[in-house]
């Protein structure tokens, strides 16, 4: 199968592309390089610099695309709060544009990188299941949820097609941008420790997050590509376990002694606990996380030495 991977120069997109190549897929990769870098694009990817909105049916046909992994987007709640209109343009409108192009080109397999941000605090106690209430606390979460629903809409309009939305939970690992302080809780703290010698925590230390190692994330994308039955699917990609913000910070300080830490006020739009339930994807696709946070952080820190 020939795949289009958007956001191929970014953290998740580049890792997914590399994994797809090892699985025998051919990859046509697109990225506007607004946040990703060309050096991230794996060898073997046919690359085009462009925005998602500029992908036409003709481009998809010329590159013989058979399936789409849409990973590109504005990444993070912080950026969306500053620029909500831009967030909607990138995460919602460009996603609709890509669905429309895929529909005209007759492409029947579309996988979308959604986010845990769609849950917000949810209703009731976590872990969140896919059919739990969605109460996003940021424009980013609202946009991701809207884009999910557009995917379901296009699939219903084309019932022989396959649409999968993966709600990714706080993906981290080697290769994440440690110079961006707007998204990725592990990379933010790690980057601050390395680049500034000072970690600034904006919020309560007892907040907790479900952290998913990048290799487990890429495996989830490969598993959904094997789905043969048309339909509309929604899966959490998570571990089902929570790690506190204080524990993340303490482990990084232990690795880099002398790092100063300051604690700021809690943002009312920042969830206290975000933990997902991975049982649905485990039952449907046999996917389960293989790397716990402590091993994943160890591997990540090793790449910084």
Catalytic residue annotation = 140
Angle at 138 between CA 273 and CA 219, to 5 degrees: 65
Exposure b/e, 117-131, CB count within 10 A at least 16 = b: bbbbbbeeebbbebe
CB hemisphere CA count around 265 (13 angstroms): 3
- Cα→Cα distances 288→216, 218, 229, Å: 8, 12, 21
Contact 179, 220 (CB under 8 A): no
User: Does the CA dihedral 250-251-254-255 come out positive or negative?
Assistant: negative
3-class secondary-structure state, position 90? helix
Provide the token pair at 99.
Answer: 């669905």
């Amino acid at each position: 199968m020939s795949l289009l991977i958007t956001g191929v120069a970014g953290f998740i997109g580049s890792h997914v592309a590399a994994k797809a190549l090892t699985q025998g897929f051919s990859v046509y990769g697109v990225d506007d390089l607004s946040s990703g870098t060309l050096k991230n694009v794996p060898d073997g990817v046919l690359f085009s610099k462009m925005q998602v909105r500029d992908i036409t049916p003709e481009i998809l046909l010329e590159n013989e695309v058979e399936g789409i992994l849409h990973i590109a987007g504005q990444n993070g709640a912080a950026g969306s709060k500053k620029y909500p209109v831009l967030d909607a343009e990138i995460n919602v409108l460009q996603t609709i544009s890509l669905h429309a192009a895929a529909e005209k080109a007759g492409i029947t397999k579309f996988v979308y990188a959604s986010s845990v941000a769609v849950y917000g605090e949810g209703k009731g106690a976590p872990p969140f299941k896919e059919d739990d209430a969605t109460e996003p606390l940021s424009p980013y979460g609202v946009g991701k949820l809207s884009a999910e629903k557009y995917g379901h809409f296009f699939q219903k309009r084309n019932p022989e097609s396959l649409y999968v939305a993966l709600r990714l939970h706080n993906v981290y690992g080697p290769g994440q941008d440690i110079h961006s302080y707007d998204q990725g809780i592990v990379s933010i703290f790690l980057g601050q420790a390395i680049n500034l010698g000072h970690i600034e925590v904006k919020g309560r230390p007892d907040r907790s997050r479900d952290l998913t190692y990048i290799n487990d994330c890429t495996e989830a994308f490969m598993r959904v590509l094997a789905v043969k039955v048309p339909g509309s699917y929604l899966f959490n990609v998570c571990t089902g376990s929570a790690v506190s913000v204080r524990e993340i910070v303490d482990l990084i300080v232990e690795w880099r002694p002398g790092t100063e830490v300051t604690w700021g006020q809690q943002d009312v739009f920042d969830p206290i606990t975000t933990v997902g339930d991975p049982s649905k994807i485990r039952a449907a696709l046999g996917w389960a996380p293989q790397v716990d946070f402590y091993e994943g952080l160890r591997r990540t820190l090793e790449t910084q030495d």
